[in-house]
Structure formats: structure tokens, C-alpha cells
């Protein structure tokens, strides 16, 4: 059997692969006005599709690639995903119409669904227990840093080479990851452990998630709270640059908020064994609703344009609550699905992506030159998250 990379190389490779998703979203934000002008977008809010459609495509990719990874192996699925991602980047680089750009972003999202779904399975195949936890902690640490620096990287590329070069950078990273992975990483799923691909199996898994109250409720909750983050990402460029006039400085403010999300993930890993996932999640969502409701009240009182310092003062702890919720809600949703972990993860991930991308796009479309639509969206999505959590833990009615 071909020898794989050592521990350090393996962790670095996984980090490079998983960071492509975050870069694909956050590097675009500084370039949205330029893309809108060059491609003659009719409505300013339409350019937000460059962000949200990628997440929607990722949901499709996860749903397709999850079962394929169990049937044909991890390596073919990951390589195929990268090829599709590179094709989508190429289409975006040379797009002359906004519709073509959106299609390219959709293809990129579908492509990222392959690595995103198969990486966790790949790690599970080779490591277990504390070793696996150690690897995933390092990989997630990269995921913390990338959203913080990606807008600044995108801004630098935009100023020096133009917005099309951002897709070129993503295409190069995808090619490097594809080549590195193809050469150094052997297949980790033996032929004896592969499960035949069938539509009935996928349907059974979907029904299994839908019928399980806890899995379904926490999947919905995960989608709603991720939708709150996507609402912010959809509106962030317009909000920071148009309402607050930050210009090229807005990546700094985005980096600060991204670090609060990432810092919460680190804190959660330290305290979750002591307090438990559910207790932390309930407290975090309650605090999120309180904070965002207070921000909504302040925004209404100030004509939709609260001072920047006030918005950051509310957003920082709110985003910290989001970071606590992200990992916990997904873990609780997956807990009853141990018998179908691979395809279950794909279904949970894709459904939450569909919810977050559609809700984020809806809130973003409501942007009216003020912070009010975003403030309303955060409150509503926080409440929906709490309702879904509450419903999932309510005992089902037994018919007599």
C-alpha cells in the first residue's frame, strides 16, 4: 500500500483544502462593487448572489458527494470536487455577464462540496480518538484565521490586479491542493468497506433525518444561525462601505468580528466537556436574541444608522454566541445518526446550507442603505433557531 504523508504534512494538506471554502466566500467581499459595475448589474443588491449562491451550490455538492465518497472512495470524490471547483473559477474569470458569473459561482460551490464532505471521513479513516481531535482542532484553527485575513487578501489582489485575479488566485490554490493531494495522499477507504451507491439508500437516509426529531430540529437550528452569519456577509460590504464610509478599511472590522467567531470555537472546545453542548447552546442562543433585539431597538431609534462603535459593540458578543452555536448544533444533529454517519453528515450539511444561503440571500436583498434590515434578520433568525431547538427537545405526542 502506498505510504501517505506524515502527520505534519497531512494536517497542512487538510488545512489548505478546507480553507478554500472560506477564501471563496470572504475574498470576494471587497470586490463586489467592482464586479457589479463591470458586469452592469441592474440592482445593487443583486451582486450579493456572488456570495450566497456559492453556499447554495455547496449544499448540492454535499448531498451528491457524500454518498459517492462511501461508494467509490474518498480520493476520487475529492479530486472530482477540485476539478469542478477549478472549472467554476475559470468560468468566473472570463465571465462577461453577471449571469455567467453566478453560474460559475454555483459550480464552484458544487465543487467545494466534495472536499468539504470527504475530508472529515478521510481523517476518520486514518485517525481516531484524541489523535483525530488533535488534527481537527488544528484544521479548525486554520478555519478561524482564514475568514479574518481573507477580505484583506482579496483587497490586496483587487488593488493590484483587479477582481478577476481573485478567481485566478482561487483557481491556483485549487490546482495546488488537487496536485498535492493526488500525488501524496493514498485512498483510505478499502474496497471491502465501500457501500453500493443507490437512490433508495439516499432516500432512506433523508427520511431517517427527517423522522428523527432531534436531528431535524438541530439541523434547522444550525441552518438558521448560519443564515444569520450569511445575512451579515451578504450585507457587510454595503453596510461598512456605504453606510459607514470605511472604504478600504472595512476588512479590518470584518477581521475583528471573524476572530470573535473563531475565538468562540476555541473557548467552546475548552468548556463543552464541563457544561455540555445543549446547555451551552441554549445559553448562547438566548444571549444572541437579547443582544440582537437590543441592537434592533437602538437601530430603530437612530433612524437605521447607529454609530459604528455601537454596532461593533453589539456584533462582537453576538458573533461570539454564533461561534458557540456552530459546532454544537451540528454535533447534536449528528448524534442520533451514528449508524449512517457519512451520508447523514452530507444531508445535515446540505440542508443547513440550503437554509442559510436562502435566508442570507433574503435578508441581503432587503438592504435599503441602513442597518435595519440586517438587524431585523438577525433577531428573526435567532428566534427561529431557538424555536427549532425547543421543538427538537419536545417529547413527541404518543397516539393512543
Q: Are 17 and 144 contained in the same domain?
A: yes
Domain end point (choices 186, 218, 234): 186
DSSP 240: I
Whether the predicted pLDDT of 284 surpasses 80: yes
Q: Are 152 and 267 contained in the same domain?
A: no
Q: In angstroms, rounded to a whole number, what is the distance separating the alpha carbons of residues 266 and 124?
A: 21
The pLDDT of residue 234: 85
Domain end point (choices 186, 209, 232): 186
- What's the average model confidence in pLDDT over 19-43? 88
In a domain? residue 400: no
For residue 398, name the pLDDT band (cuts at 50, 70, 90): very low
Q: Are 210 and 134 contained in the same domain?
A: no
Lowest mean pLDDT among 5-14, 95-104, 118-127, 174-183: 118-127
Q: Are 145 and 1 contained in the same domain?
A: yes
Name which of 146, 156, 169, 174 is nearest 23 in CA terms.
Answer: 146
- What's the average model confidence in pLDDT over 259-272? 79
Q: What is the pLDDT of residues 336-395, one digit of tens each?
A: 765 565 677 778 878 888 898 899 889 988 988 899 999 999 999 999 999 999 998 876
Q: Are 233 and 282 contained in the same domain?
A: yes
For residue 106, name the pLDDT band (cuts at 50, 70, 90): very high
Name which of 55, 355, 113 is nearest 219 in CA terms.
Answer: 355
Q: In angstroms, rounded to a whole number, what is the distance separating the alpha carbons of residues 299 and 310?
A: 10
Name which of 325, 271, 233 is nearest 25 in CA terms.
Answer: 233
Q: In angstroms, rounded to a whole number, what is the distance separating the alpha carbons of residues 311 and 315?
A: 6
Number of domains the chain contains: 2
In a domain? residue 338: yes
Report the share of the chain in percent with pLDDT over 90: 37
Q: Are 335 and 386 contained in the same domain?
A: yes
Q: In angstroms, rounded to a whole number, what is the distance separating the alpha carbons of residues 154 and 364?
A: 21
Residues 23 and 80: beta-carbon distance below 8 Å: no
- What's the average model confidence in pLDDT over 207-235? 88
In a domain? residue 138: yes
Whether the predicted pLDDT of 26 surpasses 80: yes
For residue 18, name the pLDDT band (cuts at 50, 70, 90): confident
For residue 135, name the pLDDT band (cuts at 50, 70, 90): low
Q: Which three cell numbers stand for residue 388?
A: 427549532
Question: What CATH number should be reported for the domain holding residue 157?
Answer: 1.20.1250.20
Q: Are 234 and 213 contained in the same domain?
A: yes
For residue 400, name the pLDDT band (cuts at 50, 70, 90): very low
Whether the predicted pLDDT of 167 surpasses 90: yes
Residue 394: count other Cβ atoms within 10 Å of its Cβ: 10
Q: pTM to 2 decimals?
A: 0.80
Whether the predicted pLDDT of 197 surpasses 80: no
Q: In angstroms, rounded to a whole number, what is the distance separating the alpha carbons of residues 283 and 281?
A: 5
In a domain? residue 175: yes
Q: Are 244 and 363 contained in the same domain?
A: yes
Lowest mean pLDDT among 43-52, 57-66, 122-131, 239-248: 122-131
Q: Are 343 and 219 contained in the same domain?
A: yes
Lowest mean pLDDT among 3-12, 80-89, 308-317: 3-12
Q: What is the pLDDT of residues 34-80, one digit of tens each?
A: 999 999 887 878 888 898 899 889 888 988 888 888 888 889 989 99
Dihedral of alpha carbons 75, 81, 85, 90, sign: positive
Q: Are 209 and 240 contained in the same domain?
A: yes
In a domain? residue 71: yes
For residue 297, name the pLDDT band (cuts at 50, 70, 90): very high
In a domain? residue 292: yes
Q: Are 101 and 28 contained in the same domain?
A: yes
Phi, psi of 167 (to 5 degrees): -70, -30
Lowest mean pLDDT among 93-102, 163-172, 242-251: 242-251
Domain end point (choices 186, 219, 239): 186
Residue 37: count other Cβ atoms within 10 Å of its Cβ: 12
Q: Are 139 and 222 contained in the same domain?
A: no
Q: Which residues of 42-74 are buried (b: 16+ CB within 10 A; e: fewer)?
A: eeebebbbbbbbbbbbbbbbbbbbbbbbbbbbb
Rg (CA), the chain: 21
Contacts of 274 (CB under 8 A, 6+ apart): none
Q: Where are the alpha helices (DSSP H) in the chain?
A: 7-26, 32-38, 49-72, 74-93, 98-126, 129-161, 164-184, 199-211, 213-238, 250-275, 277-301, 308-334, 341-365, 372-393
Phi, psi of 76 (to 5 degrees): -60, -35
In a domain? residue 192: no
In a domain? residue 191: no
Q: In angstroms, rounded to a whole number, what is the distance separating the alpha carbons of residues 159 and 76?
A: 37
Residue 376 CB-density burial (10 A; 0-12 exposed, 13-18 middle, 19+ buried): middle
The pLDDT of residue 143: 66
Q: Could you tell me the residue range of the domain that residue 53 belongs to?
A: 1-186
Amino acid at each position: 500500500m502506498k505510504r501517505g504523508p506524515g502527520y505534519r504534512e497531512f494536517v497542512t494538506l487538510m488545512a489548505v483544502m478546507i480553507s478554500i471554502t472560506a477564501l471563496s466566500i470572504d475574498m470576494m467581499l471587497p470586490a463586489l462593487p467592482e464586479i457589479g459595475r463591470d458586469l452592469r448589474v441592474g440592482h445593487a443588491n443583486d451582486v450579493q448572489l456572488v456570495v450566497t449562491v456559492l453556499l447554495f451550490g455547496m449544499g448540492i455538492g454535499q448531498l451528491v458527494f457524500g454518498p459517492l465518497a462511501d461508494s467509490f472512495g474518498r480520493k476520487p470524490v475529492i479530486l472530482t470536487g477540485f476539478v469542478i471547483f477549478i472549472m467554476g473559477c475559470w468560468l468566473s474569470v472570463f465571465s462577461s455577464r453577471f449571469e455567467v458569473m453566478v453560474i460559475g459561482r454555483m459550480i464552484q460551490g458544487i465543487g467545494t462540496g466534495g472536499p468539504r464532505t470527504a475530508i472529515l471521513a478521510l481523517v476518520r479513516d486514518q485517525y481516531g480518538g484524541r489523535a483525530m481531535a488533535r488534527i481537527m482542532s488544528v484544521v479548525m484553527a486554520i478555519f478561524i484565521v482564514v475568514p479574518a485575513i481573507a477580505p484583506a487578501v482579496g483587497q490586496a489582489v483587487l488593488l493590484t490586479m483587479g477582481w478577476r485575479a481573485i478567481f485566478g488566485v482561487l483557481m491556483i490554490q485549487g490546482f495546488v491542493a488537487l496536485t498535492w493531494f493526488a500525488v501524496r495522499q493514498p485512498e483510505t477507504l478499502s474496497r471491502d468497506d465501500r457501500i453500493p451507491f443507490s437512490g433508495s439508500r439516499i432516500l432512506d437516509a433523508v427520511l431517517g433525518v427527517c423522522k428523527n426529531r432531534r436531528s431535524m430540529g438541530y439541523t434547522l437550528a444550525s441552518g438558521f444561525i448560519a443564515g444569520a452569519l450569511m445575512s451579515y456577509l451578504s450585507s457587510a460590504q454595503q453596510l461598512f462601505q456605504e453606510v459607514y464610509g470605511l472604504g478600504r478599511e472595512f476588512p479590518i472590522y470584518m477581521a475583528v468580528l471573524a476572530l470573535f467567531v473563531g475565538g468562540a470555537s476555541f473557548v467552546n472546545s475548552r468548556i463543552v466537556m464541563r457544561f455540555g453542548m445543549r446547555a451551552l447552546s441554549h445559553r448562547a442562543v438566548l444571549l444572541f436574541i437579547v443582544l440582537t433585539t437590543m441592537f434592533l431597538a437602538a437601530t430603530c431609534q437612530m433612524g437605521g444608522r447607529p454609530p459604528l462603535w455601537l454596532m461593533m459593540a453589539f456584533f462582537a458578543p453576538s458573533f461570539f454566541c454564533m461561534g458557540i452555536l456552530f459546532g454544537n448544533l451540528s454535533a447534536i444533529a449528528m448524534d442520533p445518526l451514528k449508524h449512517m454517519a457519512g451520508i447523514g453528515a452530507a444531508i445535515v450539511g446540505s440542508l443547513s446550507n440550503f437554509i442559510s444561503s436562502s435566508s442570507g440571500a433574503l435578508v441581503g436583498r432587503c438592504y435599503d442603505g441602513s442597518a435595519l434590515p440586517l438587524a431585523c434578520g438577525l433577531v428573526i433568525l435567532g428566534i427561529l433557531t431557538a424555536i427549532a431547538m425547543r421543538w427538537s427537545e419536545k417529547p413527541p405526542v404518543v397516539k393512543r
